[in-house]
Amino acid sequence: MFLEGVILMFAGMGAVVLFLALLVIVTNKSSTLIRALEAKMNQTKAE
Amino acid sequence: MSARSHKKFSFAKMAAVAFVFCIAILLASQPAFASEGLGSFSSAISELWHSTGLYGFTQDGGFGKLVMMGVSLVLIYLAIGKGFEPLLLLPIGFGGLLCNIPLAGIAEAGGFLRVIYDFGINTGLFPLLIFMGVGAMTDFGPLIANPKTALLGGAAQFGIFTALLGAIVISNIIPGIDFSLKDAASIGIIGGADGPTAIFLSSRLSPDLLGSIAVAAYSYMALVPIIQPPIMRALTTEAERNIIMKQLRPVSRLEKIMFSIIVLLLCALLLPSAAPLIGALMFGNLAKESGVVNRLSETMQNALINIVTIMLGLSVGSKLAAETFLSPRTLGILFLGLVAFSVGTASGVLLAKLMNKICKEPINPLIGAAGVSAVPMSARIVHNVGQKANRRVFLLMHAMGPNVSGVIGSAVAAGVLLALCQ
């Protein structure tokens, strides 16, 4: 059972880290896109 | 009333009592009365005695029930006297009192606590509704402004898996403790410092341990101000605690709206087993951030979460039955819960130290400790420890990033454990 526990530990930590790392990347990219879009919209409004 | 009339009244009362007593004896000795099923007066008295709680306490398991009532009273004292997680420890403690009343059957089939338990916990509904309310109360702005702090919330989940392995190890070395892999996973989730997630997972994997796990999770969450600061100070230098972090940028409403949808999509693509928890959390958050359904958002933040908290607390308390709680396994769970919290705190701080060395912008390693959910208490503790080191160090908002990512991280960990152990 110990071996199963170790496998569960690696799989679990791997999934958590992978999920959050992807979240970091996607959030960064989407934030950049959204801010660029908002800046463009503000510029268009000002014009 | 004069003394004479008072004396007269007392005499009349005594005479009435004596009369009723005589009638009762006469009735009890009548054969017709016996045919109704009560036998004689002595058997009626005997039946009455057998239906009292005093008799119940003298029967098998009665002493255990008394002990559990004492434990429940301690929980109520901690809630009222010490202010430790009163919203949950008070209903849990009272639920514990109710379920240990002998012969009342409140937590047995047909009892009202059992009905609530079957409806809300067996189905996994209550933790999800609580998560909805938590989502409606959470501001993910600090995490969106500095997304890399989400990794700290991931590191702190290491406590979950350490406790899982610990549970397996102590099962092998300590006689009387025999945790299965499912039990070990349920115990490990205490390290997520997230009550609803712990209840959700343990109700799925180890319903018998639910009471001990919930009590351990909420007790340690209440003890965060005592458990975390020594670990934070031991793992950081004075200079690291003095690091002043750059102020976070403002986050727009559109970014916050998109964030809840992105998290849900990621969950749907990578880990559907975590979707109930993450979905409820993100729905609550979307309702808040959208700004168009304020009535729903306010209901989730107040009425809904309050009603569910009452029922969740009472039904978790109903699992504090003597026969399941009073065992060496409970001691093991309490010990492993402490290990999980401590390791989670330490791993968050250590990763923050590493990130401080690697990243361009300085990161105060103390914020890593907030990765163990316990929203927002652990973020407040981080802020207080930082303030003690240097009055110019303001860490509250910086710590909220890892804090809310810890909620997501523990939900993801629960999803993984559910997918692999069920």
Q: Which pLDDT belongs to residue B368?
A: 95
Q: Which pLDDT belongs to residue B1?
A: 46
The pair of structure tokens assigned to A23 is 């979240």
Q: Which pLDDT belongs to residue B10?
A: 67
The stretches in chain B having pLDDT less than 70 are 1-12, 14-15, 17-39
Measured in whole angstroms, how far is the alpha carbon of residue B45 from the centre of its chain? 43
Contacts of A38 in chain B (CB under 8 A): 252, 254
Q: Which pLDDT belongs to residue A2?
A: 86
Q: Which pLDDT belongs to residue A46?
A: 86
pLDDT tens profile B311-366? 999 998 888 888 778 888 888 999 999 999 999 999 999 999 999 999 989 999 99
Query: Which of B157, B165, B408 is nearest residue A5 as measured by Cβ atoms?
Result: B165
Nearest chain B residue to A33 by CA distance is B255
Q: Which pLDDT belongs to residue B358?
A: 93
Q: Across all residues in chain B, what is the average pLDDT?
A: 89
Q: Which pLDDT belongs to residue B31?
A: 52
The radius of gyration of chain B from alpha carbons, rounded to an integer in Å, stands at 27
Of B126, B55, B76, B132, nearest in space to B300 by CA:
B132
Residue in the structure block whose two tokens are 């009638």:
B23
Q: How far is B277 from chain A (nearest CA, A)?
A: 14
Does B275 contact A at CB distance below 8 Å?
no
Q: Which pLDDT belongs to residue B329?
A: 87
Q: Which pLDDT belongs to residue B350?
A: 96
Does B403 contact A at CB distance below 8 Å?
no
Contacts of A16 in chain B (CB under 8 A): 154, 157, 409, 412-413, 416
Query: Which of A1, A13, A34 is nearest residue B161 as measured by Cβ atoms?
Result: A13
Contact B185 A35 (CB under 8 A): no
DSSP-assigned letters across all residues of B220-239: HHHTHHHHHHHHHHHHS-HH
Cβ-Cβ pairs closer than 8 A, A with B, add up to: 110
In chain B, what is the straight-line distance between the N-terminal and C-terminal CA atoms, in Å? 75
Tell me which amino acid residue A20 is.
L
pLDDT tens profile B87-111? 888 999 999 999 999 988 898 899 9
